[in-house]
Amino acid sequence: MKLAVDVRRHAYDDLLVLSDVSFTVADGEVVCIVGPSGCGKSTLLGIVGGLVRPTDGTVATEGALRPGTLNPVTFVFQDFALLPWRSVRDNVGFPLEHHRLSSADREARVSDALARTGLADFAGALPKQLSGGMRQRVGIARALAVEPALLLLDEPLSALDAQTRELLMDDFGRLWMGAGITALYVTHNLDEALRLADRIVVLSRRPGRIKDIVSVGIDRPDRTAVAAAPRLAVLRERLWSLIRDEAASADREMARA
Amino acid sequence: MPEGQALQPERRPVAFRGGGFLPRTSRAVGAIGFAVVLLAWQGALAAGWISPVFLPSPVEVALALRDLAASGELWRHLSISLYRIVLGWSFGTAAGLGVGSAMALFSLARSLGMPMISALFPIPKIALLPLLILWLGIGETSKVATIGLGVFFPTAIATYSGIDNVSRTLIRMAQSFGIPFGAIVCKVALPGALPSILSGMRISASIALLLVVSAEMIGAESGIGAFVLSAGNLMQTDQLVAGVAVLSVLGLLVGAALSAAEKALLSWR
Ligand SMILES: Nc1ncnc2c1ncn2[C@@H]1O[C@H](COP(=O)(O)OP(=O)(O)OP(=O)(O)O)[C@@H](O)[C@H]1O
Ligand SMILES: [Mg+2]
């Protein structure tokens, strides 16, 4: 699914948060959004997903959906957003409950999503019994169960430790990249962006404007190879130089506020 | 410099200082304490330190309780009190759940409800009984209505604040999957508010008990409250204390039932 974002302006009361943010995402492309704290990344994702009404702007998607797609635009949340009173299985099945599906189809979707995320043995567990990494796997399984065309991920790994993050990034590659799912992925972590993105949108400090859009231009599977390290280092340096000043002044602003 | 030697000149063991702040409960100690109080009570009467006119001995209370149970008198009063509690509590809880949910979900209900509840909640509901008797008569309706009113307010407040405090991301998550409004209320908001609703029920149950006794003391021939009052008027202190003991047991049972409900319904926490 293709995506065209054109947010001319977004403000919360008097606080201007986004200004002239427009870009497009190609079918199957993964675009990461990086930028300093409070620059409006979550707001932008909310606008794209229809959870926040932009002050002035439009978001449009384009492209035929696969027949199994129940929820074309689907979120994965930073704090997982699991229903704590439901088991893993019932959390994954939650978004299916208001769709007319045969119970066999429903169960097949749930168990398929659980199997793909390595959760089959934990189907009966409650969220509180799982580690953070496992909880986010449930969040991902829930998103996969509705066969999304566009995934919106808001810092999906930032609540996790570094090792779990590595593992889940591998899973992302396996689960939805190359499977034709388009993704918009917000992160603070430049290495995460360089590992996953086709292109990286760099936002300025609030009000967020597009500072630059950086293409990574290395095949995703090759990026963990040693040979790619120098080119990634150059990209990382470039991204950091774009962000550093913005982040520093955003930080000072926060301290003053 | 080898590390071991650096410590040599003055070797001090690190003293433990993490003690305390870990109280435990022992059922045996609790039971012994209870027995000591009963024995002292019985002993004080036997020694003549307390006049039996003012306080019956525990044995006399137990005998009175046995006679009351045997004659069916106890059940006659208890059942009518329970009937009033169950009816009043059910009406009050249903109304409180409805109004509290509406206030948590809709701007109009919130704008109307908040100031009204703030104004009416502090009124001791028993003060309204005379008015309710005037409107509804001396019969059951006025008592049930008093209990219902007393239960309504804490339930509405607990429901309102419970739903209001349900994590915003859970609501957004449900919306992001296109779940319809009604289903979000039933599957996300209300279950999320359940801990608050159940602790509200703890409060409302004790209010119901308090109000049924007060209402029965003001205008009733039957019910535990009326029984305790008339026993007092007749100086039948053994009957009086027996009635009070029944109320205590009733309160304990309600509390235990709520604890069991919490354990069963909130095991996910
Ligand atoms: N619902 C809201 N009402 C008012 N102000 C808001 C609201 N949501 C966000 N803001 C403000 O808008 C600005 C952008 O918030 P947003 O959450 O989009 O930033 P972010 O880039 O995701 O930040 P972070 O990196 O910390 O996640 C912040 O200053 C925030 O305080
Ligand atoms: Mg954010």
Residue B7 lies in a domain: no
DSSP state, residue B14:
P
Judged against a pLDDT cut of 90, whether residue B219 lies above it is answered with no
For atom 28 of ligand 1, the residue with the nearest CA is A38
One domain for residues A117 and A217: no
Strand, coil or helix: what is B141? helix
Domain count, chain B: 1
Q: Are residues A51 and A174 in the same domain?
A: yes
Phi, psi of A66 (to 5 degrees): -70, 155
Tokens 């054109």 sit at which residue?
A6
* Confidence label for B7 from pLDDT (cuts 50, 70 and 90): low
Residues A108, A198: one domain?
no
pLDDT-derived band at B76 (thresholds 50, 70, 90) equals: very high
- Region B189-199: what's the mean pLDDT? 97
Q: Are residues A177 and A225 in the same domain?
A: yes
A175 in the same domain as A238: yes
Number of domains present in the structure of chain A:
2
| CA proximity to A80, closest of B179, B187, B167 | B167
Q: Which of A148, A171, A189 corresponds to the end of one domain?
A: A148
- Which residues are registered as beta bridge partners of A33? A186, A201
Query: Scanning the structure block, which residue is given the tokens 């990086």?
Result: A34
Closest CA to B210 of B124, B133, B137: B124
Is pLDDT of B175 > 80? yes
Which residue range forms the structural domain that includes residue B141?
57-265
| Tokens matching residue B75 | 């059940």
Strand order from edge to edge, sheet including A15-25: A15-25, A2-12, A56-62
Among the three residues A148, A172, A191, which one is the final residue of a domain in this structure? Answer: A148
**CATH number of the domain where residue B73 is located:** 1.10.3720.10
The ipTM of this complex is 0.93
Mean of pLDDT over chain A? 93
Task: Tell whether the torsion through CA atoms of B120, B126, B127 and B132 is positive or negative.
Answer: positive
**DSSP symbols for B103-117:** HHH-HHHHHHHHHHH
Kindly give, in sequence order, each residue whose CB lies less than 8 Å from that of residue B88, ignoring residues fewer than 6 positions away.
B143, B144, B145, B146, B147, B148, B150, B151, B208, B211, B212
CA of A128 to the centre of ligand 1 (A): 28
A6 & A98 share domain = no
Position A73 in a domain: no
What's the domain range around A202? 2-65+150-256
pLDDT at B9: 75
Beta carbons of A85 and B191 less than 8 Å apart: yes
Distance CA B31, CA B35 (A): 6
- Give mean pLDDT, residues B14-19: 92
- Judge whether A71 lies within some domain: no
Structural domain includes residue B10: no
- Whether A161 and A136 share a structural domain: no
Contacts of B194 in chain A (CB under 8 A): 85
- Do A120 and A164 sit in the same domain of this protein? no
Pairwise CB contact (< 8 Å): B172 & A51: yes
In a domain, B42, yes or no: no
Confidence of residue B3 (pLDDT cuts 50, 70, 90): low
Q: Residues B127-137: pLDDT tens digits?
A: 999 999 999 99
Q: Does A75 fall in a domain?
A: no
